[in-house]
Amino acid sequence: MHLLEVVKIAEVSCHAFQVQLTLVVILSSDRQSLPTDLNHGSQMYDFHTLSPPDFEELVRDLLQAELKVTCESFGSGPDLGIDFRFSTGADDTIIQAKHFVTTGANGLVGTAKLEDAKVKALKASRYILATSVSMTPMLKARIQKAMPSAPLKARDILGKQDLNNLLRKHPDIERKHFKLWLSSTAVLERILKSGVYNRTKAEMTAIRSVVPKFVYNGSVPQAEAILNKHGALIVAGEPGVGKSTLARMLVWLHAEQGWKIAVIDDIREAFEVAHEGEKRLIFFDDFLGQIRLSSDVIRDIDQRFPPFLQRVRSSKDVRFILTTRDYILRQAQAESSKLSSTEFNASEFVLNVGHYTRAVRAQILFNHLFFSKLRNEQRDSLLADNFFLRMIDHRNFNPRLIEMLVSPDFISLSDRPIRETVLLTLENPEALWEKPFRSHISEDGRALMLAIFFNSSRTTLIDLEKTFVRMAKASDIRLSRANSVRRFRLALKELEGSVLAIQNQRVSFSNPGVRDYLQRAIVEDRFVESAVEVVTDYAEVFQAWSFYKAQGSENQQHSLTKQWVAAMLRLSKSASGSVLHRLALLLEVYEALRSRELIGLIKLEASRLSAVRLRASEATAGCFVMQLLVESHLPKNDRQGVIVSINAAMRKMVQDESDTLILNDLRSVIRGLEKLDVEPTETAEAIAEGLKLFVESMEIELEDVQEEDDLAEFEELLLELLNDYNVNDTDAITAIGDQRESIEEKSDDEDNDDDDDDEGYTPTRRLKDEPDSDEAIRSIFDTLRKR
């Protein structure tokens, strides 16, 4: 048997995203038939999440599996297609894969008529047509009539139902094409019924929309390898390079495979959502902050991050994915003793992303254009004269810029033609929001953007409305009480989609680049001086102070001491935030400004501590306040009075909350109380009482200690504290011994277990070689041109 010369044809036409991709293959005279009966399953795909190349590859893989042949794969060439071939005999067969997103049956029949003459010239003995259009007997007859020169049998016309049937017959092919099932309704419903809370539901719904545009690249297997080995992954990189997108795809892949998902915005939540015996993936986006590192983040990281990572490393049932900007991570490692320690060794699970091959860049741009809602003339402008190659090869190319530059919402904010907007933005990405902010967004819209900036990362609509009124005042915008609600709602409507996103009555910037731009604009306009005049609630004052402090020496040239004192007075009167957080912020501001007018406010907040019960969740803030007081420059008598108040409050926390404190937090609180050195007898009695309470309930924390080394560290730390305060350690030693036996038994069971080390999660696919020549890329983008 000799191989026949392969005849190739690949014709591509596009009308309203209608795409035809033609493959030529050679089959033996044993004419294998294709199934036309349906095995009704629970999932029916309509393939709308697949781009034309994705659909073509799916058809190729399905037919290879069904016909038991192997195709050679080639890059795109001058005939405008991705060619496949195989040869097992004398008969040649043409396979066409036609993906029609919007034009449906009429578009399919119209294209079939145009193809008839080309198919006739090939003189094939068999013709197979695979399409995403749903088939009926009448439609099959219309297609056959439209192609009288093609040897096309009704059984060889494979529509949407037939392809779904093949997918059920070949589940391995379905799993390989993850973009097919990751965004399906069935997957979404299964995930959202898994018990996740509202924040996670909103995140998972948002992730689903990202799937069609995602381009598989080398970062995926690298990230999976780190997760498999360490259980934790930090995705780092410059702004806009796709950190969050990669992390979200990994989250979605895990969710589909049965892992329960928890999306958190505070490291303390990680301990609360990780449960023994339950596969749980925890996602924390921008875990070190969005644009700058703050002291409270460093405190939380030093206190809670290392112990939780130890927990992750010791459990196959918990995984942790975090993202951060690379410069913030470097800053955190410089300032945090834990992140920079050799024991921590963060480099083991950090993946720096952002380098994309030319082929991957091309696919990123293609997918965004294919699924965008740009007008035809706008899309055609980007395709004309191969302008898209300039975008792909631009030194400032990154996925975030591409997402914005093909977004109708963003383009509508510009008064320039789309190509001019694209070029100006690529040349100067920092000015992405300059023109819209300065010239196109209304003054109310600008006030709303500033209100989001000077607030928590996901603020409520109720809180945002109050900040909007204040930022309008700071911007000299006349806003009466009677019409403030109406103008707030109009500003929301103006910015939703292009600038902000609203989920579950919470508002955030839809793109982190907006916050980056505003940070520069606020500095240029010296707007922080105006903002300080109006901020009142804790979130506003905290964000404004963090921003002001981050400017460093520049602030020394125009000190705002009087304004900050007034802001702190408004904060104290508003009673916004917790007493501990207000006290911590007041002490921090006092140390920077040394204004005596703040002393009275500090003493007032300290006196309020006696009327509140501090919860375990406030342990870190309490430790920070104690540390600030140890180092404070407050006058001696004033300082001592505040120390007595915080000592009493934290002592009460130890007595009442030790059964819910983790051991590391309990130790930090105890060491903080020791440094205050106030009322030593009463403090020692309270600590001893708290330690007894901890031992009585420590089984919950012990269950999470699954490694011998971690248990030994836990034992050493606890016994040291019990010994320091003369607390009987018998019960603690017994409980620790029981847990040690449990760990040893579990280790023996695992040694005898022949299952895969990472049962429950299947990595995705391997990378394939992608063409990156101008000719190959042009051929792919030609599928977007309308005819």
* Paired tokens of 172: 């391995």
Residue 207: what pLDDT? Answer: 78
**What angle separates helix 104-122 from helix 137-146, to the nearest 10 degrees?**
40
Q: Are 7 and 93 in contact (CB under 8 A)?
A: no
Contacting residues for 771 by C-beta, under 8 A, at least 6 apart: 75, 76, 359, 777
At 465-513, the pLDDT tens digits run 999 999 999 999 998 888 999 999 999 999 987 888 887 788 988 877 7
User: What is the SS3 assignment for 270?
Assistant: helix
**Is residue 565 predicted with pLDDT exceeding 60?**
yes
Q: Report the C-alpha gap between 344 and 306 in whole angstroms.
A: 7
Main-chain phi, psi angles of 12, to 5 degrees: -125, 130
Average of pLDDT values for 401-430? 87
pLDDT in tens, 55-99: 888 888 898 888 887 665 544 443 333 334 444 455 677 777 787
Average confidence score pLDDT of the chain: 81
pLDDT of residue 34: 53
Indicate the SS3 state at residue 757. coil
pLDDT of residue 452: 96
Tokens describing residue 293: 């590192």
**Residue showing tokens 């219309």:** 142
C-alpha span between 378 and 711 (Å, rounded)? 62
Please compute the mean of the pLDDT values over residues 537-549 and round it to a whole number: 94
Q: Length of the chain in residues, anyone? A: 787
Predicted confidence at residue 686, as pLDDT, reads: 96
Tell me the pLDDT tens digit for each residue of 227-282.
988 888 999 888 888 898 999 889 888 887 888 888 887 777 777 777 666 788 88
- The per-type count for the chain, helices as H runs and strands as E runs, is 38, 14
Determine the Cα–Cα distance for residues 538 and 552; give it in Å rounded to an integer. Answer: 22
Q: Which residue has the higher pLDDT, 345 or 524?
A: 524
Q: Is 0.85 topped by the overall pTM?
A: no
Pairs from 104-110 (Cβ < 8 Å, separation ≥ 24): 104/133, 105/133, 105/134, 105/139, 105/142, 107/15, 107/16, 107/18, 108/18, 108/133, 108/139, 108/143, 109/139, 109/142, 109/143, 109/146, 110/146
Q: What is the pLDDT of residue 446?
A: 95
- Given pLDDT bands bounded at 50, 70 and 90, which one contains residue 49? confident
For residue 707, pLDDT beyond 90: no
SS3 state at 460: strand
Place of tokens 């989001």: 452
Structure tokens, 154: 């009704």
User: For residues 463 and 505, is the Cβ–Cβ distance under 8 A?
Assistant: no
**pLDDT recorded at residue 599:** 96
pLDDT in tens, 731-755: 999 999 999 988 888 776 655 554 4
Is there a contact between 298 and 332 (Cβ–Cβ < 8 Å)? yes
For the segment 142-151, what is each residue's pLDDT rounded down to a tens digit? 888 888 888 8
Confidence of residue 589 (pLDDT cuts 50, 70, 90): very high
Q: Percent of the chain, pLDDT > 90?
A: 35
Q: What is the pLDDT of residue 696?
A: 92
**Tokens describing residue 244:** 């969050």
Nearest CA to 695 out of 738, 742, 663 is that of 663
What whole-number percentage of the chain has pLDDT above 70? 82
Residue 109: the pLDDT is: 83
**pLDDT interval class at 428 (50, 70, 90):** confident
The pLDDT score that the predictor gives to residue 190 is 55
DSSP-assigned letters across all residues of 543-585: HHHHHHHHTTHHHHTT--HHHHHHHHHHHHHHT-S-HHHHHHH
Residue 286 carries which side chain, given as an amino acid letter? D
Confidence of residue 105 (pLDDT cuts 50, 70, 90): confident
490 burial via Cβ count (<10 Å: 0-12, 13-18, 19+): middle
Who has greater pLDDT, 749 or 318?
318
